[in-house]
Amino acid sequence: MKENDRTVRLEGDRSWIELYAPGIEPTLKPACGTALDLFRTAVRERPHHAAIWHAGRELTYTALDLASDALAIRLIEAGVTRFDRVALAFQNTPEFPTIVLAVWKIGAIPVPVNPLYSTRELARIFADAEPSAVLGEAACSETLARAVAEAGLASCAVLSASPDSATEIRTAIGGSVTAPETPQRFTQSDPAPADVGLLLYTSGTTGDPKGAMLRHSGLAFNGEMFAHWCALDGNSRVLAIAPFFHITGFVCHMLAALSARATLITYGRFEPGVVLDVIRGTRPTSTIGAITAFNALLNAPEALPDDFSSFERVYSGGAPIPKALVEQF
């Protein structure tokens, strides 16, 4: 069989393309080579648009850019260099994307972990990843410190952050890090598309957690692809139900929102009553989460049909979705 015949045959067998929604092309050419490029494009195109909503306040793309610049400087002062790993233990708050962006601007690699992990679980990951710095919520700072010690990382800095508002990122590096009015200068080490942009550990349900090394090019493409397929745009308001320390929240919430130049709605740890209040106050248009989260929202005593009326698209996966639940939504 000739190569061109083989190509034609393969294209002819791609019958699933017929199931694509109108406007979805069978191929997608990436617009950005790295995940950091997604963010910089958003800053350039929509500098004053709300990048993050949290606790009733908004952080614009420009403010997020300046805050992550300031944090990058402090990470450099703490000894973080290009290709270093930086672990972060946060729920869905503005600190998470700010730290990730700061780490990328240094050319380093973020390593998200669940802030509710035990000392033993964290130590196992830290011993493998060997981070040069660990940033986490104040509530888990002692657990993080014990895990770093148990992993034998004597030179690893452990920094705590106390979530305050969407416009101020507090860390243990030099006190509070506030988005300055003018950019703080530092030598950026921009990542290349082939560089590792995320070291994400598996759950370890069938063995020790394994670090999945995800390249910047793949992260950028998946963020663009999800935004494209889910018809997200600059008017979208993405409710972050899936945790950022999981691949679903990292890509389908955070990176997809950056790609669409949309607004990301954060609130911390998932709790049905809190989330319902956030929904009523922000009227989100899109979200993705585990089926257990949607069950919890629908079964909350205070839930009303109008609470979900602003959503244009709701996604779930990873487990069977009962038909009755879809109809109830």
Q: At what angle do helices 61-77 and 35-45 cross, to 10 degrees?
A: 140
CB of 240 within 8 A of CB of 94? Answer: no
- Is pLDDT above 60 for 315? yes
More confident residue, 71 or 167: 71
Distance CA 275, CA 254 (A): 17
Residue-level pLDDT at 151: 98
CB of 123 within 8 A of CB of 97? Answer: no
pTM over 0.85: yes
Residue-level pLDDT at 258: 98
Instruction: Band the pLDDT of 110: cuts 50, 70, 90.
Output: very high
Structure tokens at 265: 């709605």
> What one-letter code names the amino acid at 241?
I
Q: What angle do CA 142, 148, 153 make, to 5 degrees?
A: 150
Instruction: Identify each DSSP E strand in the chain by its residue range.
Output: 50-54, 57-60, 85-89, 109-112, 133-137, 157-161, 168-170, 176-178, 196-201, 211-215, 237-239, 263-266, 286-288, 313-315
Of 126-130, 235-239, 304-308, 322-326, which range is least confident?
322-326
Residue-level pLDDT at 216: 98
pLDDT in tens, 3-46: 444 443 445 578 888 888 888 888 888 999 999 999 999 999 99
Distance CA 72, CA 84 (A): 13
CB of 257 within 8 A of CB of 232? Answer: yes
Q: Find the DSSP H helices in 17-112.
A: 35-45, 61-77, 95-106
Residue-level pLDDT at 292: 93
Hey, what domains does the chain have and what are their CATH numbers? 35-328 (3.40.50.12780)
Residue-level pLDDT at 115: 96
User: What's the rounded mean pLDDT across residues 211-221?
Assistant: 98
Distance CA 22, CA 45 (A): 27
Residue-level pLDDT at 182: 54
- Is pLDDT above 50 for 285? yes
- Is pLDDT above 50 for 243? yes
Of 155-169, 173-187, 215-229, 279-293, which range is least confident?
173-187
pLDDT in tens, 69-78: 989 998 998 8
Handedness of CA 276, 277, 281, 282 (dihedral sign): negative
- Is pLDDT above 80 for 50? yes
Residue-level pLDDT at 167: 33
Residue-level pLDDT at 186: 72
The per-residue pLDDT of the chain, averaged, comes to 89
User: What's the rounded mean pLDDT across residues 99-103?
Assistant: 96
β-strand pairing of 211-215 with 85-89: unpaired
